Every structure is written in C-alpha cells, then in structure tokens.
Amino acid sequence: MQSIKNYIEENKPRFLEELFALLRFPSVSADPAYKNDVLATADFVAQKLRDAGAQNVEVCPTSGYPIVYGEKIINNNLPTVLVYGHYDVQPADPLELWHTPPFEPTVRDGKIYARGACDDKGQFYMHVKAFEAMMHTDNLPCNIKFMIEGEEEVGSDNLGKFVAANKERLAADVVLISDTSMISMETPSLETGLRGLSYMEVEVTGPNRDLHSGVYGGAVANPATILCQMIASLHDENNHITIPGFYDGVVELTEEERKDLNSAPFDLEEYKKDLEIEEVWGENGYSTLERTGTRPTLEVNGIWGGYTGAGAKTVLPSKAFAKISMRLVPGQDWEKISELFTEHFVSIAPKSVKVKVTKHHGGAAYVTPTDSPAFQAAYQAIEESFGKAPVPTRGGGSIPIVALFEEELGIKTVLMGFGLDSDNLHSPNEKYDIFNYYKGIETIPLFFKHFAELENK
Ligand code: BES
Ligand code: MN
Ligand code: MN
C-alpha cells in the first residue's frame, strides 16, 4: 500500500489546481449579488467530498446558505473527528487595492493570492485532500464527518439550528478546525483560544433633514460630531472601555499564564514595521499579545454620514452611523454585553439627537483544554511534521460557533490553523502560502493517527 506521504507528493499539482477552482467562485455571503455563486460553491464542495470518498454527502438547505455535510464511518468503535470549515468569504472590496483580481487566484513568490485563499477555502480544503490521501492509501484511522458552512463570515445564523437539529448525525469526539493562524512556519503554534464577539450598529439622528451648514451650522447639533464624541467616550485615558459592567466576570490570567503567553516569540519592532506605525496602542498595563489574546476590546469597524462624494458640499447631515464590534473573553456573555452597550450608548446621547442601536451577530469566547487527547494529537502532529513543538497561543479572532459546538454537542474543539496573521484576511491581497497548504495536508493525517492512538488508550 502506498504511503500517505507519497500519495500527497504525487498529487500536489492537482491539489493546487482544485484549490484554484474553488477560489474562483466568488462566494461572498454578505452580498446578495453573489447568491448563485455561493450556492454553486456548496455544490462544488459536496462533489469534491464525494470524489474524495465521503459518503452520505448532502447539501443541507437552511433558511440562509446551505451546509455541506459528508462522512466516512469506518467503525463505530473508532473515535470520530468532526471537521468544520466555511466555504463563504468576505467581500473583496476595495477592489482597486488588489494587485491581481480577487477571484482569479494568482501565484507570486510561492503564495496564492485570492479572496478566501487562507480564510477559509485554502484551509478547509486541506482537510478534503488529507482525507482523500488517507482514503486512497487505506490509512483512515478514525471516523470522519465534514460540516462546511456558507455563513461564517456573516455570523453563522443558521448553523446553530442545524447543529441542534442534527445532534446525532454530528456526534463526534472532537471538532477539528483549520481557520486560525500560526506564528510562522519556522515557529509553528497551536491556538488555545478564540475571542467572542458582539457586533452592533448605531444610528444618530439630528435634524429631520440635511441642512445648509452655513445657515444652520453652530445652532443645531451635528450628528456626525456627536457620534464621534460618543464613540470617543467609550475608552478612557487608560484605554479601558467605559461601558458600565463591561468587565464584570472577565477571567484574568494568572501570573503564570501571563508569563507563558508573553514568552511566545513576538517581535514588537517587526510588528510595527509591518504595519508602518510608530507606536502600538491599547489598554494600559497589558502587552500586545495580552491585548489581542486575552483582553476584551471595542472597535469602530466603519463610520459614515453626510457628504462623502467628490469635492466638497457644505452640509450638516441629518444622520450619522457606525458599526461597532466588541471582542470578548471568557466570562463575558455576548448577549449581555450587547445589552450593556445599548443601554450605555443610549444613555450618553445628548438631548439634541436621537439614537438607535441595533444588534448584529455575536458569540462567546472559547478556550480549549491542552491536556485532552485531541490537543495532544494536534501538538504531536505539528511536532512531527515541522520537526518542532508548537507554541501554544491565544488568538484574537472569533469563530463564534465553536462555543456552540460545546454547548450543543458537548465536544471540544482543536484549532489547528496553518494561516499567518500577515495573510491579509478580510483585507485586499489575501494570500496563502503554497508551502502552508501542502504542510497542512501532510500534518492532518498525522493528527488522525495520533488521535486514534491517544483516544483509544
Ligand atoms: N477565520 C476567521 C477567524 C480567525 C482568524 C481566528 C484568524 C483566528 C485567527 C473567521 O473567518 C472570522 O473572520 N471570524 C470573524 C467573526 C465572524 C462572526 C464574522 C471575526 O473574527 O471577525
Ligand atoms: Mn474563517
Ligand atoms: Mn473570516
């Protein structure tokens, strides 16, 4: 029987071509204009699962975009791994900042440039190919289930219902996800946590219509100015968030945990250089790694109102808007935080304006145990394929559905991501290194091997 390694080696060019085909689908879940493309992507993924050897493959409808399911059950006495990923991508704009078209994957300097290259098409597809390699070489040591959704980038609204309604079908011993980052290929790492999220939108209304800013300016509250003042007041001079109750329940790290976290390789000068900033920013008393990995934050994602077209228009706008998100840590309840935000934001509005707050999506933070067989299997798999033990890290991003897997299915998640923070996720010129793609395909079967051994002990 051919070894997995050989099989992968021989099929690398095809594995890359298939990923390119997947990346050519503009599966932007946020924009209804791409509806047919998103649906077509689901069918493509389903077909690739079938081709790889999965059974009971189904494109499961939801009231939003479908969830692609497939499985290979070899023996009910063996452990089962549930692979989760998402085939939807973030919008590609601003298009003019891309060096090559976002949905025409292009290789430069060994990196694949395309929207979704890293988040998450390039990463979940590694699992499809690793599965194919295990199947074709008769080397699949665990049962496997795939659940690839199409609404992760818009809050996974329908996945919760699907999971609740399919508990038996989804029963597994661990959820395995590749949708996070490593420190670098020289310093492999394994994320032990994700932050939660609460996403809000605010609308501030002043006068009932846009006004001439000379005729009325100075006498009527400008909602754009007021909105800026309100937003500015959400952080104090120490960059603490001022919403009453916001930090209630936040789990602080022990000194030991802080020391561990801060011992991860991190070069602040490189970080600043990469971003072309003179200084970092954040909550006083915490390091950059702590600020992104373990502390809650509040960010303005977008702010608009009034005239933003060409040239100048002297106007006092009637309305101003902002999208504001908060990253949460263990101990914070995202629904509660959304309420606290709403109450506070309404309470700080001066009488001269009206405020409307709406809630988008959210989800809880997640921390994975590092003493579980699954985490140990991921650890050993990375150690074996990189020749170096991974550094445990806490990631700043969110996959809100992970906490729900634990609630609904009672299973823990292992975050075995192969991206890099510098892969431009959600940004122009998203990329994924071909090296990382192949490395992932090689590492995943090792996870299955170690997990089968450790879980059966
Ligand atoms: N894959 C990311 C999350 C991520 C990226 C975690 C890098 C760790 C490191 C995921 O697709 C994502 O973008 N999540 C969103 C939340 C979602 C509700 C839109 C996020 O983190 O903003
Ligand atoms: Mn993702
Ligand atoms: Mn994303």
Pair (112, 244) in one structural domain: no
By the 8 A CB rule, do 290 and 260 touch?
A: no
Pair (60, 202) in one structural domain: no
Q: Considering the domain boundaries, does residue 277 fall inside one?
A: no
Count structural domains, the chain.
2
Ligand 1 atom, smallest distance to 156 CA: 18
Per-residue pLDDT of the chain (457 residues; tens, 9 = 90+): 679 999 999 999 999 999 999 999 999 999 999 999 999 999 999 999 999 999 999 999 999 999 999 999 999 999 999 999 999 999 999 999 999 999 999 999 999 999 999 999 999 999 999 999 999 999 999 999 999 999 999 989 999 999 999 999 999 999 999 999 999 999 999 999 999 999 999 999 999 999 999 999 999 999 999 999 999 999 999 999 999 999 999 999 999 989 988 998 999 999 999 999 999 999 999 999 999 999 999 999 999 999 999 999 999 999 999 999 999 999 999 999 999 999 999 999 999 999 999 999 899 999 999 999 999 999 999 999 999 999 999 989 999 899 999 999 999 999 999 999 999 999 999 999 999 999 999 999 999 999 999 997 6
Pair (340, 438) in one structural domain: no
Pair (31, 135) in one structural domain: yes
- For ligand 1, pick from 179, 334, 413, 416 the residue to mutate: most ligand atoms within 8 Å of CB: 179
Q: Considering the domain boundaries, does residue 274 fall inside one?
A: no
Distance (Å, whole) CA 401 – CA 409: 12
Q: Considering the domain boundaries, does residue 290 fall inside one?
A: no
Ligand 1 atom, smallest distance to 325 CA: 22
Distance (Å, whole) CA 422 – CA 435: 15
Q: Considering the domain boundaries, does residue 28 fall inside one?
A: yes
Distance (Å) of CA 411 to CA 84, 330, 402, 456: 13, 17, 9, 17
Pair (341, 390) in one structural domain: no
How many C-alpha atoms does 1 have within 13 Å on its Cβ side?
10
Largest separation between any pair of C-alpha atoms in the chain: 84
Distance (Å, whole) CA 240 – CA 317: 31
Q: Considering the domain boundaries, does residue 241 fall inside one?
A: yes
Pair (200, 322) in one structural domain: yes
Quote the ligand 3 centre to 155 CA distance (angstroms). Answer: 10
Task: Report CA dihedral (302, 336, 421, 304) to the nearest 10 degrees.
Answer: 0
For the chain, how far is it from start to end, CA to CA, in angstroms? 26
Length of the chain: 457
Of 314, 337, 363, which one is at a domain's C-terminal end? 363
> Which stretch of DSSP H or E encloses residue 316?
strand 315-316
Q: Considering the domain boundaries, does residue 348 fall inside one?
A: yes
Pair (224, 322) in one structural domain: yes
Pair (331, 448) in one structural domain: no
Structure-block tokens of residue 219: 């006498």
Of 338, 363, 388, which one is at a domain's C-terminal end? 363
pLDDT attached to residue 2: 79
| CATH number (domain holding residue 369) | 3.40.630.10
Quote the ligand 2 centre to 14 CA distance (angstroms). Answer: 24
pLDDT attached to residue 457: 62
The answer to pTM > 0.75 is yes
Pair (91, 188) in one structural domain: yes
Residues with a known catalytic role: 88, 152
Parent domain of 442: 2-194+365-455
- Determine the angle formed by the axes of helices 4-23 and 121-136, rounding to 10 degrees: 140
Those residues whose C-beta lies under 8 Å from the C-beta of residue 305, and which sit 6 or more positions away, are 204, 223, 224, 227, 317, 319, 320, 321
Give residue ranges with CB within 6 A of ligand 1. 119-120, 152-153, 155, 179-181, 194, 197, 361, 395, 397-400, 425
Q: Considering the domain boundaries, does residue 263 fall inside one?
A: no
Pair (151, 201) in one structural domain: no
| CATH number (domain holding residue 235) | 3.30.70.360
Pair (134, 181) in one structural domain: yes
Structure-block tokens of residue 428: 């122009």
Pair (327, 383) in one structural domain: no
By the 8 A CB rule, do 382 and 390 touch?
A: yes
Distance (Å, whole) CA 213 – CA 304: 17
Ligand 1 atom, smallest distance to 426 CA: 13
Of 341, 363, 385, which one is at a domain's C-terminal end? 363
Q: Considering the domain boundaries, does residue 267 fall inside one?
A: no
CA angle 254, 258, 261 (to 5 degrees): 135
Protein residues placing their CB within 5 Å of the ion ligand 3? 119
